[in-house]
Amino acid sequence: MKLLISITVFIIFGLSILFGIHLYTEPVSIQLVETDKTLPERYQKDRLTDYLLTMVHTEEGFEEKWEEFQLSGTAPTIDFNRYDSFFLGFNESGGCAIKPEHLEFKKKEKSLIVRISTPYEYCQDMAVPRTFVYKLEKELAKELTEMVIVNEREEKKVPID
């Protein structure tokens, strides 16, 4: 029995290396800080497929981006000695809210994978702004070079601004 388990594990990892499938991902310590139906003025509000991603490393930068993204209320306090923050903005369909469901860090690719979903198959073409604000540990943020947004139809690489 132990031999069968060992052979199975060997085959799975061997095939994953052969086909370039990455089974190893880091557990991600990311927390949602805020979400709102807003976007910066400079963003093209009639586009449904583009994503805006901005990483912030200081309290001053965070407050600046909070205002730029037109989020309501006072920006919450984040310990920027321990955390960085990122703002993810895009337009979603008027009838189908987009929801990030799963985040994972791929260390080798230095990518943060964000899997998003919509609750319905057919959605309206009306663009509605949406911003998500997250905080993540500085050590993780330092290693990131891109975010990959994955939905039912596409996988899109977004460079970190």
Structural domain contains residue 132 = yes
Residues in the chain with pLDDT values less than 70: 1-28, 44-49, 118-125
Structural domain contains residue 99 = yes
The rounded distance, in Å, linking the Cα atoms of 65 and 83 is: 16
pLDDT for position 6: 41
Structural domain contains residue 97 = yes
H or E segment and range at residue 155: strand 155-159
Please count the structural domains in the chain. 1
Structural domain range at position 53? 22-159
pLDDT for position 34: 94
pLDDT for position 17: 37
Structural domain contains residue 5 = no
Structural domain contains residue 15 = no
pLDDT tens track for 54-93: 999 999 999 999 999 999 999 999 999 999 999 998 887 7
pTM exceeds 0.85: no
Alpha helices for the chain (secondary structure H): 2-18, 59-68, 138-143
The rounded distance, in Å, linking the Cα atoms of 68 and 38 is: 10
Phi and psi at 62, nearest 5°, equal: -65, -45
Structural domain contains residue 152 = yes
Structural domain contains residue 28 = yes
pLDDT for position 155: 85
Structural domain contains residue 14 = no
